[in-house]
């Protein structure tokens, strides 16, 4: 029998019972649909997480100041001095910048000032930056300009604000705020540009560049030095912090592990009294994320596998019934010269058609579900071509696995018996 | 005898068929000798239980004999494998069933095509031949219809057209008029005769309808698993009597 005839015949048979074919493949349709949707959700979440991690820079080690836990019991509290000194110091900066694999260190410092709009406190931080921060944080200017090297030689009160900070500080109508002054605890800063970070980067306690008012380090140093006075209720404290964040850029990502270990070892030794620092290696997070993702994928695959097995069993059931129902047709075909292989092929291809079409419909259902999820929950979903191809392949495979037994049964019907049956 | 031997379409030598049940062996055919010559219209008759159906299955290569020799067109086929048998069924035997066994979801034309599909005939050639055969059974105007839109007589003619698809050596008809009323039955029989007369088609028809007995060239009576003569006496294995049972009609 010619292969084209075999395909035509099987397809013809499915179209004979459209409703039944559809109902039969429902199991596979929803199995594949949920697989696609779940893969879409997990892939979307993965991509979002990866993008955030990558935005911090795969070639970076982020070292940051952490306010040490107050060991304050009643006896200790009396001894707490008015000045709290903690965090990353200039000595640390010098040491780290001189390490082997370190190419550059970008430094950030939170001025620890309250940014208000009227009497409301805004979640905006006044941060001193170095000139390379824009590039290293993968941010872009959306309006105005970034700092000029000259801005770092002077102590001009200029600032670049993040887009989100701008929206918080100004009303919607105020489109162009370049050149305007903002007031932060006794100082005015002239806005020279608006920057935006599209990657969702977060720098530990400093948050996203979008929520920052960035001022040149030189300006900050002259205005505030390394001191910050903090008023909490009636208590006033002075915090002495040199630096809040080191963005350590490494030369060779291959050895990022060694470098991070060395930094960690160094800091552990120097800051051995209190743990006032933290470290974050995006590259490690990436590996971690991938590991978690793999576990997630295995779990998903098992669930998907079960749903496909259920779908497959349903199909096998219907195909067995179909073989019984069509046994006279099978007998007649055999009498007219069909080989066992022809009958086997006919039923097998029918089943594979059924599951593959089911798989195709399932992909449509899955894509629909994913886009609905994205629409209603704003959770990102991503359906890769890879997952679609895999689903189609798996659904065909299900057809082969669960179609073989009914097809074998069809091919091995006793011709004499089935011809006599009515 | 030798020349006759070689030219027989079907030749059975001492065919024995025994069904092995759990505790006992049931002999159904106990040594059947028969031959069918080209152009013959042979009836196989016998009461139920005579082994008629079993003989039919063996003739149609749906079943293999326990012992004996079956020559089809001079080729010994009793020990062929399942797929070899399927190929021979396809190419050399035209099956006609009591209940027509047409495929209800296929058109008349597609029904006629089925055996040609299994013979790997290219589609164009197949359609061409199906149309010719449709014309030949005088149903050329019905080619696009489905079997359930046809009368019983028409269905059986379609079944004959289907059987002729691969130019078989002989037609094997199993009670082809069993499901038809007398009038239609006569028409179908007339049609078979026409086919036999005009196209020199060899036909073997199994029936238990005594009314048809006189329409065959020759009748092979079967009783209790043996070929018997008209009076019901067994024709034993002797040379002359074998000749008798193989006997040609001319």
**DSSP assignment of A303-321:** HHHHHHHHHHHHHHHHHHH
* Ramachandran sector of residue A58 (left: φ over 0; alpha: ψ -120 to 50; beta: rest): alpha
- Provide the domain count of chain B: 1
On whether the CB atoms of residues A409 and A357 are closer than 8 A, the answer is no
Instruction: Give contacts of A4 with chain B, Cβ < 8 Å.
Output: 123
The pLDDT of residue B84? 93
Look at residue B86 and tell me if it is in a domain. yes
Look at residue B61 and tell me if it is in a domain: yes
Q: Is residue B18 part of a domain?
A: no
Enter the DSSP assignment of B177.
Answer: T
Sign of CA dihedral A87, A91, A93, A96: negative
Residue B45, pLDDT score: 92
Question: Residue B107 above 80 pLDDT?
Answer: yes
User: ipTM of this predicted complex?
Assistant: 0.90
In whole angstroms, what is the distance from residue B50 CA to residue B48 CA? 5
Half-sphere exposure of A59 (CA within 13 A, CB side): 14
Kindly report, residue by residue over B41-55, the tens digit of the pLDDT: 999 998 888 889 899
**Is residue B175 assigned to a domain?**
yes
Chain B environment of A335 (Cβ under 8 Å): 60, 62, 89, 95, 97, 101
- Tell me what pLDDT residue B249 has: 44
Chain B closest-CA separation from residue A1 CA (Å): 5
Per DSSP, chain A holds a count of helices (H) and strands (E) of 14, 15
Give chain A positions within 8 Å (CB) of B103: 329, 332
Q: What is the mean pLDDT of residues B168-196?
A: 91
Across the interface, do A416 and B63 touch by the CB < 8 Å criterion?
Answer: yes
Contact A415 B103 (CB under 8 A): no
- Residue B207 in any domain: the answer is yes
Quickly state the pLDDT bin for B236 (edges 50, 70, 90): low
Alpha helical stretches, state H, chain B: 2-7, 52-59, 82-92, 108-118, 123-136, 152-164, 182-198, 239-246
The SS3 call for residue A144 is: strand
Q: Answer yes or no: do B101 and A340 touch at CB < 8 A.
A: no
Contact B172, B59 (CB under 8 A): yes
CATH of the domain at B208: 3.40.50.300
Residues of B with Cβ-Cβ distance to A13 under 8 angstroms: 105
- The pLDDT score that the predictor gives to residue A147 is 92
**A contacts of B162 (beta carbons < 8 Å):** 336
Token pair 């886009």 is at which residue? Answer: A371
Contact: B62, A415; criterion CB under 8 Å: yes
One digit per residue, pLDDT tens: chain A, 422 residues?
A: 778 888 888 888 888 888 888 998 998 999 899 888 888 888 888 888 877 777 777 888 989 998 887 654 444 444 455 778 888 899 999 999 999 889 999 999 998 888 888 888 888 999 999 999 988 888 889 999 999 988 888 888 899 999 999 988 888 888 888 999 998 888 899 999 999 988 777 787 888 889 999 999 988 888 888 888 877 666 777 888 899 999 999 988 888 889 999 999 999 998 888 888 989 888 888 888 888 888 887 887 788 788 888 889 999 999 999 999 999 999 999 999 999 999 999 999 999 999 999 999 999 999 999 999 889 988 888 888 888 998 899 999 999 999 999 999 999 999 999 988 76
Mind listing the pLDDT tens digit for each residue in B70-98?
999 989 998 899 999 999 999 999 999 99
Q: Does A414 contact B at CB distance below 8 Å?
A: no
Please tell me the predicted confidence (pLDDT) of residue B2.
44
For residue B166, which residues of chain A lie inside 8 Å, CB to CB?
Answer: 337
Model confidence band, residue B126 (pLDDT cutoffs 50, 70, 90): very high
Q: Is residue B24 part of a domain?
A: no
B174 beta partners = B206
Could you give the angle at which helices B108-118 and B82-92 cross, rounded to 10 degrees? 130
At A367, list the tokens. 């894509």
* Contact yes or no for B101 and A1 at CB 8 A: no
Measure in Å the smallest separation between the Cα of A373 and chain B Cα atoms: 44
State whether B57 and A1 contact (CB < 8 Å): no
Region B28-47: what's the mean pLDDT? 92
Separation CA A57–CA B190 (nearest Å): 93
DSSP B233: -
Instruction: Give B9-67 as a 3 state SS string.
Output: CEEEEEEEEEEECCCCEEEEEEEEEEEECCCCEEEEECCCCCCHHHHHHHHCCCCCCCE
Quickly count: other Cβ atoms within 10 Å of residue A403's Cβ: 25
Write down the residue that tokens 């390490």 correspond to.
A99
pLDDT of residue B173: 94
User: Is B62 in Cβ contact with A340 (below 8 Å)?
Assistant: no
B116: domain range?
A: 38-69+79-234
- Check A416 against B62: CB less than 8 A apart: yes
Whole-number pLDDT of residue A71: 54
Q: Is the pLDDT of residue B5 over 60?
A: no
User: How many Å lie between the alpha carbon of B146 and the closest alpha carbon of chain A?
Assistant: 14
- Determine, yes or no, domain membership for B50: yes
Q: Quick one: pLDDT at residue B157?
A: 92
Note the pLDDT of residue A238: 84
In a domain, B246, yes or no: no
């Amino acid at each position: 029998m010619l292969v084209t005839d075999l395909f035509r015949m099987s397809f013809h048979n499915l179209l004979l019972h459209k409703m039944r074919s559809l109902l039969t493949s429902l199991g596979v349709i929803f199995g594949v649909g949920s697989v696609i949707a779940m893969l879409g959700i997990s892939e979307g979440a993965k991509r979002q997480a990866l993008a955030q991690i990558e935005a911090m820079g795969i070639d970076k080690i982020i070292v940051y100041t952490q306010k040490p836990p107050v060991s304050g019991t009643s006896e200790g509290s009396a001894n707490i001095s008015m000045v709290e000194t903690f965090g990353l110091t200039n000595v640390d900066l010098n040491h780290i910048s001189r390490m082997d694999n370190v190419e550059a260190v970008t430094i950030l410092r939170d001025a620890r000032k309250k940014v208000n709009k009227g009497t409301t406190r805004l979640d905006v931080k006044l941060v001193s930056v170095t000139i390379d921060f824009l590039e290293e944080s993968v941010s872009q200017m959306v309006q105005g300009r970034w700092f000029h090297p000259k801005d770092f030689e002077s102590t001009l009160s200029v600032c670049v604000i993040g887009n989100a900070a701008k929206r918080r500080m100004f009303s919607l109508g105020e489109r162009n705020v370049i050149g305007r002054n903002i007031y932060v605890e006794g100082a005015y800063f002239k806005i020279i540009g608006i920057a935006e970070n599209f990657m969702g980067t977060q720098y530990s306690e400093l948050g996203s560049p979008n929520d920052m008012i960035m001022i040149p380090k030189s300006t900050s140093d002259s205005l505030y030095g390394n001191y910050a006075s903090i008023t909490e209720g009636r208590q006033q404290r002075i915090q002495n912090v040199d630096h809040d964040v080191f963005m350590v850029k490494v030369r060779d990502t291959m050895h990022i592990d060694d470098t991070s270990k060395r930094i960690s070892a160094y800091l552990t030794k120097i800051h051995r009294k209190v743990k006032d620092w933290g470290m974050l290696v995006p590259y490690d997070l990436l590996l971690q994320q991938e590991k978690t993702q793999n576990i997630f994928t295995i779990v998903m695959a098992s669930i998907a596998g079960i749903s496909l097995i259920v779908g497959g069993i349903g199909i096998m059931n219907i195909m067995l019934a179909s073989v019984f129902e069509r046994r006279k047709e099978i007998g007649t075909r055999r009498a007219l010269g069909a080989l066992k292989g022809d009958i086997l092929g006919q039923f097998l291809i029918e089943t594979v058609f059924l599951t593959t079409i089911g798989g195709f419909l399932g992909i449509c259902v899955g894509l629909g579900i994913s886009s609905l999820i994205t629409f209603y929950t704003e959770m990102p979903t991503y359906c890769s071509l890879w997952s679609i191809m895999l689903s189609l392949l798996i659904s065909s495979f299900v057809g082969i696995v669960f179609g073989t037994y009914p097809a074998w049964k069809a091919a091995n019907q006793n011709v004499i018996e089935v011809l006599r049956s009515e | 005898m030798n020349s006759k031997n070689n030219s027989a379409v079907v030749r059975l030598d001492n065919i024995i068929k025994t069904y092995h049940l759990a505790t006992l062996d049931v002999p159904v055919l106990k040594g059947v000798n028969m031959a069918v010559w080209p152009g013959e219209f042979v009836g196989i008759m016998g009461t139920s239980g005579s082994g008629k159906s079993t003989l039919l299955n063996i003739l149609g290569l749906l079943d293999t004999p326990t012992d004996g020799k079956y020559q089809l067109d001079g080729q010994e086929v009793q020990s062929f494998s399942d797929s070899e048998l399927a190929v021979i069924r396809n190419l050399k035997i035209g099956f006609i069933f009591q209940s027509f066994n047409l495929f209800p979801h296929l058109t008349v034309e597609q029904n006629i095509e089925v055996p040609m599909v299994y013979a790997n005939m290219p589609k164009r050639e197949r359609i061409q031949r199906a149309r010719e055969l449709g014309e030949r059974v005088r149903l050329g105007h019905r080619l696009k219809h489905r079997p359930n839109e046809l009368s019983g007589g028409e269905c059986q003619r379609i079944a004959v057209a289907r059987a002729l698809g691969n130019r078989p050596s002989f037609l094997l008809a199993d009670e082809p008029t069993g499901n038809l009323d007398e009038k239609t039955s006569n028409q179908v029989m007339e049609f078979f005769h026409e086919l036999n007369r005009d196209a020199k088609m060899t036909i073997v028809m199994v029936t238990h309808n005594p009314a048809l007995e006189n329409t065959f060239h020759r009748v092979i009576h079967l009783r209790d698993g043996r070929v018997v003569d008209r009076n019901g006496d067994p024709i034993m294995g002797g040379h002359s009597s074998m000749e008798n049972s193989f006997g040609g009609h001319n």
